[in-house]
């Protein structure tokens, strides 16, 4: 009898645990942005994506695809964010990965949105880029590998870095009034 009570107790605890995690999942899903056109988009999932080009071509707009997957560069002073100064977070337009906070953005004269640091370690990854006869560092989304722009060493303090980004692959989300600073 004592054993049976123990088994029932363990079962009860297990059910409680599974309910809690199901609730957590529900909360995360509710917080996340649902994109019927892009099932890989998530602002909470940081798991790396390794998808073939054909999949990205289907789920991204032609403008985002051209920069994110074909490494094109938007014209200087043409993007929506180079001269934009609202408070909030910048996400990867291809996959929803958080990339930069507005307080790391600075007024650069180059005509592209520029930041001196990323929102967290690993949110951006780097590759040497020797295209067009130049030696540069390519900056890519740490989650989906989208081309974002380049990293230069002529930024302001405290890092001295300049993340020179294409507006079209960034998505801006303003801070909610009174909300704690995200990420
Ligand atoms: Fe991404």
* 140-150 tens-digit pLDDT: 999 999 999 99
pLDDT, residue 24, reads 45
Q: What is the pLDDT of residue 92?
A: 97
CA of 136 to the centre of ligand 1 (A): 20
* Residue 120 domain boundaries: 35-174
The whole-number pLDDT of residue 35 equals 80
Q: How far away, in angstroms, is 17 Cα from ligand 1 center?
A: 33
Taking a 5 Å cut-off on Cβ, the residues next to ion ligand 1 are 92, 94-95, 97, 141, 143-144, 146
Work out the burial of residue 152: count CB atoms within 10 Å of its CB; fewer than 13 is exposed, 13-18 middle, 19 or more buried. middle
CA of 77 to the centre of ligand 1 (A): 23
Q: How many residues does the chain have?
A: 183
Global pTM value: 0.80
Assess whether 144 carries a catalytic annotation: no
- Determine, yes or no, domain membership for 54: yes
Q: Is residue 181 domain-resident? A: no
39 with 27, same domain? no
Q: Indicate whether 27 and 116 sit together in one domain.
A: no
* Residue 110 covered by a domain: yes
Residue 79 has pLDDT above 60, yes or no: yes
> What are residue 113's phi and psi, to 5 degrees?
-60, 130
Judge if 47 and 3 occupy the same domain: no
| CA Rg value for the chain | 21
Residue 3 host element (H or E) = helix 2-31
Q: Quick one: which of 93, 95, 108 has its CA closest to 155? A: 108
Is the domain of 93 the same as that of 14? no
* Whole-number pLDDT of residue 31: 59
Which residues of the chain form beta strands (DSSP E)?
Answer: 88-92, 98-101, 105-106, 114-115, 124-129, 136-141, 147-152, 162-165, 170-174
How many A from CA of 146 to the centre of ligand 1? Answer: 5
Pair (72, 16) in one structural domain: no
Distance from residue 142's CA to the centre of ligand 1 (Å): 7
Please tell me whether the peptide bond between 158 and the residue prior to it is cis, using omega within 30 degrees of 0. yes
Cα of 170 vs centre of ligand 1, distance in Å, is: 9
Q: Which pLDDT tens digit goes with each residue over 81-105?
A: 998 999 999 999 999 999 999 999 9
| Whole-number Å distance between alpha carbons of 64 and 171 | 11
Residue 45 lies in a domain: yes
Contact present, 125 and 143 (Cβ < 8 Å): no
- Which one of 92, 95, 141, 164 is the catalytic residue? 164
Spatial strand order of the sheet with 98-101 comes to 98-101, 88-92, 170-174
pLDDT digits (tens, 9 = 90+) for 2-54: 565 655 554 444 444 443 344 544 455 555 677 888 999 999 999 999 999 99
Q: Are residues 25 and 39 in the same domain?
A: no
Which residues does residue 174 pair with via DSSP β-bridges, in sequence order?
Answer: 88
83 and 126 inside one domain:
yes
Same structural domain for residues 48 and 130? Answer: yes
Domain count across the chain: 2
User: Are both 51 and 109 inside the same structural domain?
Assistant: yes
């Amino acid at each position: 009898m004592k054993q049976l009570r123990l088994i029932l107790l363990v079962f009860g605890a297990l059910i409680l645990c599974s309910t809690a995690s199901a609730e957590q999942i529900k909360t995360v899903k509710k917080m996340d942005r649902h994109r019927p056109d892009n099932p890989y988009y998530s602002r909470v999932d940081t798991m790396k994506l390794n998808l073939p080009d054909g999949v990205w071509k289907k789920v991204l707009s032609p403008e985002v695809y051209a920069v994110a997957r074909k490494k094109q560069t938007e014209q200087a002073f043409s993007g929506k964010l180079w001269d934009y100064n609202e408070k909030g977070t910048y996400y990867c337009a291809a996959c929803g990965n958080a990339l930069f906070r507005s307080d790391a953005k600075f007024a650069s004269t180059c005509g592209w949105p520029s930041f001196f640091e990323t929102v967290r370690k690993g949110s951006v990854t780097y590759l040497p880029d020797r295209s067009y006869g130049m030696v540069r560092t390519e900056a890519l989304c740490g989650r989906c590998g989208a081309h974002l722009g380049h990293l230069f060493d002529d930024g302001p303090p405290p890092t001295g870095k300049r993340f020179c980004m294409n507006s079209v692959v960034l998505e801006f989300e303003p801070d909610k009034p009174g909300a704690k600073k995200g990420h």
